[in-house]
Amino acid sequence: MLKLEHVTKYYGEQVGIEDLSFSVHDGRILCLLGTNGSGKSTTFRLLLGLLQCDQGTISYHGEKLNFQDKCLFGYLPEEKSILRDLKVKDAVTYLAQLKKVEKIQIEKNMTYWLDYLNIEKYRNRKVQALSKGNVQLVQLVCALIHEPKILIFDEPLNGLDLENVALFKRLCWKLKKEGKILLISSHQYNNIEDLCDDVVVLHKGKCILKGSLRQLKKANKQRYITLFDENGDYEDERGVLEITQNNHSLILKMEDEKSAKALLRKYMRQENISYKIEMISLQQLIREALDASTHRILT
C-alpha cells in the first residue's frame, strides 16, 4: 500500500500541495484529478523523489520512502520526454539502463511490451518518425520496462486514438490484476471513469474530494436523465435541479432517483422520447466538488 500522510509542499510563499493524505492498495487504480495547477504534477514529483516534502510522509508497505529504489516507480510524463533522434530500441534501452536493468532483461521486456502495444514494427525506427500516439506508446514501454510496482501515468491518453485508448485500458486492467498500483492523471474524465477505483480531486493544492469512486457515486443521491428531446420544457417539474442543453439532448439533474422516475413516468408515456437515467458521472462529481469548494471559499 502506498500512503501519503499530511504531505505539504510550498514553492516559496506559494502552495504546491497542502496537507494531502490518501492511500492506494496494491492492485488498485487511483485517479488524481483536478484543474490545471491544482497540484497533480507536484504530487507526482513528490512521489518520484523529484521534489522533497516540506511536511508529511510518503510510505510504501509501511516503510517511509527513501527513493533509493529507482525501480519502484514507472513514470509516463505528460510531455514527450524521450530523445527524438534515437531509435525506439535505443531510447528504451537507455532509460532502462539508467534503472540498472540487466541487458537480457531489457531485451526480453522490450520485446514483450513492444509486441503487447503493437509497436514492435517500430523497434528500429527513429522516434521522430513516429506519430504522436505511437511516441506515447513508446513512452509507456519506457515506464514499464523495469517492471515497477507503482505506475504513474500523467495524461496517458494524450494523442491516443480510439483503438489505442482501448488498448491502454486493457493494459491498466492487466497491470491492476498483477497487483500493481496505478496513479493516473487525466482531463479525459469520460475515458478514465471505467478505470478508476479511487479518486482524489485536487483544487489549488488542497484535496476537495477523495474516496472509492463507487462509494462516492453511491453516496450521491442525485440522478441524471439524458433526454433526446431538444424542445421539451422541464424547468418547473418537481425534483429538477438543473438543466443542461447539449447538441441533441437535454441533461436533467434530478434531486433523487424517486423524482427522476416520477418525471420519466409522466412524460415517457405521452411521447416517444429516448432517454437514459444514470448515476452521477465522474465529471459531474468533480464539477460538484469544485463548485462546493468555491462556495466554501466565498462563504
Partner 1 sequence: MQVLIAFSLKRRFLNASTLLLNVLLALIITAAFFADEIVNFINPSLFDEQKVYLQVDEVVSEALMQMEMEGIVFETTDKSAAEIIEEDAKAYVLTHEENYQLITKYPIDETTQLLFNEILTSVHQNLALSEVLQEEALAYSQIQIQVENEAMQKDVDVDPNKQNLIFMIITSIYFTMLSFSTSVANEVVYEKSTRQLELILTSVSAKTHFLSKMLIGWLSILLQLGCTIFFVILAFLLRNSYDQGIGLIELINQLQLIHLEEKTFGALLGSIHVEGAFIFQCIFIFIFLMLGIIFVQMLLSIIASFVNSVEQAGSIQSPFYLILLAIYYFALSINTPYQLSEGIGFYCSFLPVLNMLLMPSRLLVQNVPIIELLLSASISIFAMIILFEKGSSIYQKGVLDYTGKGLMKIMQSMKGEKT
Q: Whose Cβ is closer to partner 1: residue 206's or residue 261's?
A: 206
Q: Whose Cβ is closer to partner 1: residue 72's or residue 216's?
A: 72
Q: Whose Cβ is closer to partner 1: residue 186's or residue 259's?
A: 186
Cell triple for residue 97?
539502463
Q: Which of residues 6-25 bind partner 1 (CB under 8 A)?
A: 8, 10-13
**173, 214, 160: which is closest to 29 by C-alpha?**
173
Q: Whose Cβ is closer to partner 1: residue 97's or residue 212's?
A: 97
Residues sharing a CB contact under 8 Å with residue 140, sequence separation 6 or more, in sequence order: 76, 113, 117, 156, 168, 171
Q: Which of residues 137-156 bind partner 1 (CB under 8 A)?
A: 142
For residue 13, the tally of other CB atoms under 10 A from its CB is 5
- CA distances to 7, 188, 196 from 224, rounded to whole Å, are 36, 20, 20
Question: What SS3 class is residue 210?
Answer: strand
* 236 touches partner 1 by CB under 8 A: no
Which residue in 61, 62, 63, 79 binds partner 1 (CB under 8 A)? Answer: 79
Cell triple for residue 38?
491544482
Residues sharing a CB contact under 8 Å with residue 32, sequence separation 6 or more, in sequence order: 40, 43, 44, 183, 184, 185, 199, 200, 202
Give CA–CA dist 107/93, Å, rounded. Answer: 8
Q: Lay out the site mask for partner 1 across 31-70 (x = CB under 8 A, - = otherwise).
A: --------------x--xxxx--xx--------------x
DSSP-derived letter for residue 280 is P
Q: Which stretch binds partner 1 (CB under 8 A): 77-85, 104-112, 159-167, 274-282?
A: 77-85
Q: Which stretch binds partner 1 (CB under 8 A): 94-102, 107-115, 195-203, 265-273?
A: 94-102
Which residue in 95, 140, 183, 280 binds partner 1 (CB under 8 A)? Answer: 95
Q: How many residues bind partner 1 (CB under 8 A)?
A: 28
Interacting residue ranges for partner 1, rule: CB under 8 A:
8, 10-13, 45, 48-51, 54-55, 70, 73, 75, 77, 79-84, 94-95, 97-99, 142
